[in-house]
Structure formats: C-alpha cells, structure tokens
Amino acid sequence: MRKVVVVTGANSGIGLALCQRLLSQDDQIHLCLACRSMQRAEAARSALLSSHPSADVSIVQVDVGSIKSVLQGARILTQRYKQIDYLYLNAGIMPNPQVSLKAFVKGLFSRKVISMFATGEGLLTQKDSVTEDGLQKVFETNVFGHYILIKELEPLLCHNNNPSRLIWTSSSNARKSAFSLSDYQHRQGQESYSSSKYATDLLSVALNTHYNIKGLYSSVVCPGLVMTNLTYGILPSFFWTLIMPVMWLIRLFTNSFTISPHNGAEALVWLFNQKPESLDPLAKYHSCTSGLANSYVTPLKMDLDDTSSLSFYEKILDLEKQVRKRFVPGNC
C-alpha cells in the first residue's frame, strides 16, 4: 500500500521543497497537494512530475482561511482515501509585516543579537484582518483552519495498528509573551504571526495528549529563516538580493539561516523518517544549516507546559462548537 501524504500550502516555498524532497527519497508515496488555488496547485504538480515523472501526485482545493473550503476539501479527501499517513500542516501567512528599524539597530548592539537573527524577536509587527467566518485571519489560516481539517479527517488519521502523523510548520518566532489565552486569536495586539505560531505549539502538545492513544502523533518544526514568498513580503526583493552575502555571513554565527527552501524542509523530511513514539512531544524540531552549508536537525524544548496547552485546547473546542453550529450539513 502506498503511503498517503497530504501537504497544505504545497504550491510554493517550504511546502513545495518538502514535496520535491519526499519524492526524491521515496517515489512510492501518494502525494496530495492541498492548496487554495487550483491553478497554482496544477503548476506545482507539473513541476513535481517533470522532476519525478513516475510519481503519484494529486491535488485538492483547501483554503485553510475558510471553514467552508476546509469542510469541502476534507469531504473530498475522505472520499478519496481510507487512511492518511502524514498530514503536513504547512500553509501559513504573515500579512502586512512591518520591520522596526529602531529595534533592529538596538538589537545589533545588544547581547541578544544572535537570538534576534534566529527568532526575529521584537522586530516584526503585522496588521491582521477578519475573515468571512468572523475569525482573525492569521489565527484561522495558521491554526484553526488546520485544526478543523484534522478533526474532519479524524477517521482517516486514527488507526491504532498503523499510526498517522501531523507535522506542523511552526516557527522560532512563536513567543509566549505574544500569546494570551484571553485573546488567543490575537484581536488586540500586533504580533498575530508570533501568537499564531505559539498557539500552534500549544495545540500540537494538546493533540498528543488526546490522540496518541488513538494512534495519531503531532510534531512541530521550525524551518529557520527561509527565502520564500513569505519572507519576500517582509522587505523588497532587491534588498534581500543585495544583502544575500551578509546572510551567508550571519550563517557563521547562527545555524537558523537555512535560507533555501530545500534546507528549510530538513526537519520536515527528517520527521517523515522517524518512529513517532521516539519523538519528544515538548520539543520543536529545528532545521539548521551550518556555515559550511551542512543541514541537520536540532530538537529544542518549547517554552510551554501541559496545563497551558490543555487550557488552550478547551478554548479551541469551544470555538469549534460555535463554528460548527453555523456549518451544520446543508448550510454550506
């Protein structure tokens, strides 16, 4: 039986590099690209097939920023497959990012300079908006849409005899201080990205607590700083091109400047090859690249605990109930 691997946000950046790498290591898998744009999904499928002509690649429309689309996409996947072995929850956004030049210059002359480059802490703010579902867009896209997808696919993911895997693309930008349980969608602050990634980490821990017994395991990854559409949205592309030599230089001091999507996908590919029981649910698996361009994976303990993850999970369950009331069968 072919292993079924579903990847959200598979049409560009880290998601597409992950697909290329998975097919290079095992062209017997069935890969399903879950994307919001069918045109971009088709283009990604063609690119994958041109480098792996015998690969088995399909596409499905899933916009994780829309509950209606997630429910429709999940319905199609349920008709198509009996089991999903790997679900990569990779799609993500960072809308309207602003870099604080003042914080950057201050950071350059502080003791925290390395960690500033590794995490972007204190440098970025975003302007979020509200979706047609009435949820904060960054929260719905990066966290909640994915959560609903998992819940809808539960029958395909929970098989005790043959465990399935959830692998989230989180970030080292996830920060406890940007997240608040009383404002978990981050309606009030300006660090919706950081908050959403911290929420991702909390959710993954809670999912392990509830679902390991049913044969479902969740892990989180940080791909490092990778040049993708997301990062090109932070500063103009000519600026990134200009400072590329500086980026290689910074790599001598921090292993988190993975830079290429191929390197960024290191931990996502590594996790594919691990036995889930051997993994630490409280660790984030970081893709790292050395100054000599060698890629490797480092697990680092996350700044959270079971109690806070379960408190957040209760909030998510409440929100799910509210949202499902609006999407009873026949209403969507």
Binding mask 205-224 for ligand LFW5757T (x = CB under 6 A): -----------------x--
Instruction: Answer yes or no: are the C-beta atoms of 149 and 64 closer than 8 Å.
Output: yes
Q: Which of 58, 78, 190, 231 binds ligand NDP (CB under 6 A)?
A: 231
Q: Does 288 bind ligand NDP (CB under 6 A)?
A: no
As measured in angstroms, the least distance from the Cβ of 260 to ligand LFW5757T is: 14
Q: Which of residues 67-106 bind ligand NDP (CB under 6 A)?
A: 90-93
Q: How many residues in the shown chain lie near ligand LFW5757T by CB under 6 A?
A: 19
Q: Which of 25, 82, 96, 99 binds ligand LFW5757T (CB under 6 A)?
A: 99
Q: Does 124 bind ligand LFW5757T (CB under 6 A)?
A: yes
Helix (H, G, I), strand (E, B) or coil at 32: strand
Task: Report strand pairing: 4-8 vs 86-89.
Answer: parallel
Residue 193 a catalytic site member: yes
CA–CA separation, 261 vs 247, rounded Å? 15
Please say which residue, 40 or 106, places its beta carbon nearer to ligand NDP. 40
Task: Report strand pairing: 216-222 vs 283-289.
Answer: parallel
Instruction: Answer yes or no: are the C-beta atoms of 263 and 292 closer than 8 Å.
Output: no
156, two tokens: 């395909």
Please say which residue, 3 or 106, places its beta carbon nearer to ligand LFW5757T. 106
Q: Which of residues 149-178 bind ligand NDP (CB under 6 A)?
A: 169, 171
Binding mask 157-196 for ligand LFW5757T (x = CB under 6 A): --------------xxx-----------------------
CA–CA separation, 290 vs 35, rounded Å? 32
Give the sign of the dihedral formed by CA 108, CA 174, CA 285, CA 60.
negative
Q: Which of 6, 15, 123, 124 binds ligand NDP (CB under 6 A)?
A: 15
Please say which residue, 168 or 211, places its beta carbon nearer to ligand NDP. 168
Rg (CA), the chain: 19
Instruction: Answer yes or no: are the C-beta atoms of 66 and 133 closer than 8 Å.
Output: yes
CA–CA separation, 71 vs 62, rounded Å? 8
Please say which residue, 62 or 167, places its beta carbon nearer to ligand NDP. 62
Question: Segment near ligand NDP (CB under 6 A), from 29-37, 181-189, 210-218, 291-299?
Answer: 29-37
Q: Which of 117, 139, 285, 313 binds ligand LFW5757T (CB under 6 A)?
A: 117
DSSP assignment of 155-215: HHH--TTS-EEEEEE--TT--GGG--GGGTT-SSSS-HHHHHHHHHHHHHHHHHHHHGGGT
Please say which residue, 63 or 201, places its beta carbon nearer to ligand NDP. 63
The residues that are catalytic are 193
